[in-house]
Amino acid sequence: MITLKPGQIVLAAGALVLGFAVVYSAMHGSFSGAGQPPAAVETGAGVDPLAGLSQRAADNPQDPAAWRALGAAQFDAGRFADAAAAYEKAATLAPQLAAVWSSLGEARVMASTADPMPAPALDAFRKAAAIDPRDPRARYFLAVKRDLGGDHQGAIGDWLALLADTPPGAPWEADLKRTVEQVGKIHKIEVASRIAGVKQPSAPTMPRALPVAAQAIPGPSAADLQAAGSIPPSQQRQMAETMVARLEGKLKANPANVEGWIMLMRSRVTLGQAEKAGAALKDAIAANPSAAGRLRQEAGVLGVR
């Protein structure tokens, strides 16, 4: 989906945000075979998702994952100013995560009614890029800024570079190509051959259409949900941490499970435990040196270093 902003083209909620937006996938996914993170538990059938997530954030004001989940839900609901406010709190609590800053930047862009690239949004994108130059959402919107500034060739070049790092079949792939095509058409720049000439990651390098770190994982059993729903929200985080610790224990027994390490990193990020996520990356590489490239790539999706 593409939204036109004062004569320029900007990807909207349904495009880039759905792909490598780790917040979104973490909120709708679950831990590796061990139940869902607190956000998912609290948004069960018959419960207003926004009300549940708002309450969770209010009950856990120092939990960046709670604010990120709330921001993602508000963004999906079209409440962009509220989403920006939630992401601002998450960024204050977890300033080392690029995905938080790029999510904040996008929310600020969508909340703006006059300026297609307000200064606070640009500042957030630049912070995200400084933390992780590979962050796809920051890269996209920084190219939008170049286009808005009149450097259409430069913007197209940046988008094509992002396309070269985009796995085939990624949710934002078609929109990214369409953006290049439309900007090229508006400014009479030939782009068809350039798009065709982009070499995207091959299957051996990127075996899935979407990195494991950004995929939804099969949800918990009915028994898991029932058990989670029977305890107070204040205890649900403890339950989630216990589940993650269980996964970590399994990895110590079977350190060759590369996907398990990726799930552990994602779980740590969801819990706002950036240092533990980084430690998991180091342990994973030490145990699987031949998979170091893939582990770093998946970690980059999560903003883990």
pLDDT digits (tens, 9 = 90+) for 162-175: 999 988 877 788 88
The confidence score (pLDDT) of residue 114 equals: 86
Phi (first) and psi of residue 165, to 5 degrees = -105, 5
Average pLDDT over the chain, rounded to whole?
76
What is the C-alpha separation between 165 and 297, in angstroms, rounded?
A: 10
Two tokens, residue 150: 């009149």
Amino acid at site 135: D
Identify the weakest region by mean pLDDT among 37-46, 187-196, 253-262, 286-295: 37-46
pLDDT digits (tens, 9 = 90+) for 89-135: 999 999 999 999 999 999 999 999 889 999 999 999 999 999 999 99
Of the listed ranges 24-33, 141-150, 252-261, the least confidently predicted one is 24-33
Q: What is the mean pLDDT of residues 146-175?
A: 91
Instruction: Please give the pLDDT value at position 82.
Output: 96
Could you give the residue range(s) of every CATH 1.25.40.10 domain in the chain? 2-201
User: Out of 1.10.287.3510, 2.40.180.10, 1.25.40.10, 1.10.220.110, which CATH number does the structure's domain 2-201 have?
Assistant: 1.25.40.10
pLDDT at 80 over 50: yes
Residue 255 and residue 272: Cα distance in Å, rounded?
23
For residue 243, give the nearest of 263, 216, 214, 272 by alpha carbon. Answer: 263
Taking phi over 0 as left and psi of -120 to 50 as alpha, with beta for the rest, 26 belongs to alpha
pLDDT of residue 222: 39
d(CA 234, CA 61): 12
More reliable by pLDDT, 160 or 31: 160
Extract long-range pairs of 172-175: CB within 8 Å, 24+ residues apart: 172/11, 172/15, 172/16, 172/18, 172/19, 172/20, 172/136, 172/140, 175/1, 175/2, 175/11, 175/15, 175/16
pLDDT band at 39 (very low <50, low <70, confident <90, very high): very low
Share of the chain above pLDDT 70, in %: 71
pLDDT reported for residue 263: 84
Q: Considering the domain 234-302 in this protein, what is its CATH number?
A: 1.25.40
Mean pLDDT of 286-296: 90
> If you ran DSSP here, which 8-state letter would residue 58 be given?
H
3-state secondary structure of 17: helix
Nearest to 130 by CA among 163, 110, 105: 105
Taking the CA of residue 60 as centre, how many other CA atoms within 13 Å lie in the half-sphere pointing to its CB?
A: 26
Compute the average pLDDT of residues 211-233: 45
Is residue 72 very low, low, confident or very high in pLDDT (cuts 50, 70, 90)? confident
CA separation for the pair 103, 101 (Å, rounded): 5
pLDDT at residue number 84: 97
Give yes or no for a contact between 199 and 164, defined as CB atoms under 8 angstroms apart: yes
Asked whether the predicted pLDDT for residue 239 surpasses 60, the reply is yes
